[in-house]
Amino acid sequence: MRRLLIWVAIAIVLAGIPVMIVPWLWPAGAWLRAGAPLPPAGPATPTPQARPADSPSVGAHADGLAAYPGGTRLYAIKPDGSAVVVADAATSAVQSSIPIQGGAQNLAIAPDGAHVYVTTTSNGVAVIDTGSNAVTATIQMPAGTEGVVVSPDSRYVYVTSGDKNLYTIDATNNRVLRSLPVGEAPSSVAVSHDGTYAYVADPPKNVVAFVDLSRNEIDGTVPVGTNPLDLAVSNDGSRLYVANAGGDVSVVDVSARKVVNTIPLGGAPVAIAIAPNGQRLFVANGSATVTVVDTTTSGVIAEVPMQAAAYSIAVSGDNSHAYVAFYDGRLVVLDAVSMAVVSTIQAS
């Protein structure tokens, strides 16, 4: 029955019917992020296709791709969640494939570059040592885990889970320190640059919760667009960008705790990343495009046809490239200025 409902949701999104009419289709950890195989390049922009039957549940892996700090190495979750692929964006070579037990969901690289943390559907967080590119620990959790982010000092890991909690993990010993109920189905999580606040998207309620990490309590919620799926914090920390599957990006003033702008994009924004210099925002859309937004004017700079829907997006540390992950296992490297395809990596 769930598979039927999911396919109904995909058909509605691709038909252009507003997503807001199907909030009841929310499954824990998955929401209206359609992917599709990437067809051969051609001059025309094809109509986006529905996901193949054996692809991940809708909404999986919005944060399933990350660029290693200060390098060209990429870590990407395979679409089926079976492994994390390590690839070199400079050479287009796959360096290794790291098996993940229990179905990988999302990942985050610690700012110090030492570890990658991978949430899974089977009550655990896998810890990858980036030196050996091997799983060196699995942190047992009381429920399946979804979103993940690491504190700026790399000391704490924050994870959302299927039991509606935000968990704080001590990265020095991989122990769970505390938990906090944060909504109906918390998904993506981001952290402020000073490490004092976590921001948690709750798609069923169309809000983002502000969590005071020192007190481990919710310090207010901000209503955003329909079905908030992914989050990005501006480089100065003053703005929070929220990708809403309903077709837009909410710009939240962090101090004022309110939406100060809404950027209409169409389609279904599923993943979002901001360039380290803070000048451009990159959004992967379920309508098989990548949208580039000027963060100063909130104007759309470019809408790039990608021929298929992606599930995650990231930007290089030097602001030169954007990386896009597709459900057919490809990683596409884009020039972040011209948005031309530089290379394609067959990651799985």
List the CATH number of the domain containing 267: 2.130.10.10
Kind plus residue range of the DSSP H or E element containing 324: strand 321-326
Cβ-count burial of 91 within 10 angstroms (0-12 exposed, 13-18 middle, 19+ buried)? exposed
**Residue 3, phi then psi, degrees to nearest 5:** -60, -40
Query: What tokens appear for 132 in the block?
Result: 């050996």
Angle at 27 between CA 24 and CA 32, to 5 degrees: 75
94 touches 85 (CB < 8 A): yes
Using alpha carbons, list the distances in angstroms from residue 73 to 91, 112, 114, 201, 345. Answer: 10, 14, 13, 28, 12
Task: Assess if residue 294 is contained within a domain.
Answer: yes
Task: Name beta bridge partners: 327.
Answer: none
Give pLDDT tens digits for 183-204.
999 999 999 999 999 999 999 9
| Band of pLDDT at residue 287, cut at 50, 70 and 90 | confident
Using alpha carbons, list the distances in angstroms from residue 194 to 152, 235, 298. Answer: 7, 11, 25
Query: What tokens appear for 191 in the block?
Result: 């952290």
Give pLDDT tens digits for 76-134.
999 999 999 999 999 999 999 999 998 999 999 999 999 999 999 987 999 999 999 99
Task: Name beta bridge partners: 221.
Answer: 209
CA 270 to chain centre: 7
Task: Assess if residue 21 is contained within a domain.
Answer: yes
pLDDT at 62: 84
pLDDT at 3: 35
Task: Assess if residue 195 is contained within a domain.
Answer: yes
Task: Assess if residue 126 is contained within a domain.
Answer: yes
Sign of CA dihedral 256, 248, 327, 54: positive
* Whole-prediction pTM: 0.84
Residue 307, pLDDT above cutoff 80:
no
Cβ-count burial of 76 within 10 angstroms (0-12 exposed, 13-18 middle, 19+ buried)? buried
Task: Assess if residue 42 is contained within a domain.
Answer: no
Give pLDDT tens digits for 240-257.
999 999 999 999 999 999
Give pLDDT tens digits for 128-159.
999 999 999 999 999 999 999 999 999 999 99
**Domain span holding position 104:** 3-37+48-346
pLDDT at 60: 56
pLDDT at 120: 96
Query: What tokens appear for 131 in the block?
Result: 């030196």
Question: What's the mean per-residue pLDDT of the chain?
Answer: 85
Overall domain count for the chain:
1
CA 22 to chain centre: 21
Task: Assess if residue 13 is contained within a domain.
Answer: yes
84 touches 146 (CB < 8 A): no
**Gyration radius (Cα) of the chain, Å:** 18
Q: What mean pLDDT is predicted for residues 160-171?
A: 97
Q: What mean pLDDT is predicted for residues 258-268?
A: 92
Q: What mean pLDDT is predicted for residues 176-181?
A: 97
Task: Assess if residue 43 is contained within a domain.
Answer: no
| Band of pLDDT at residue 327, cut at 50, 70 and 90 | confident
Range from 161-175, 280-294, 306-320 that averages highest in pLDDT: 161-175
Percent of the chain surpassing pLDDT 90: 73
Task: Assess if residue 318 is contained within a domain.
Answer: yes
Query: What tokens appear for 29 in the block?
Result: 């950890």
| Band of pLDDT at residue 347, cut at 50, 70 and 90 | confident
Name the 3-class secondary structure at 204. Answer: helix
Angle at 226 between CA 220 and CA 227, to 5 degrees: 80
77 touches 116 (CB < 8 A): no
Q: Look up residue 45 and give its amino acid.
A: T
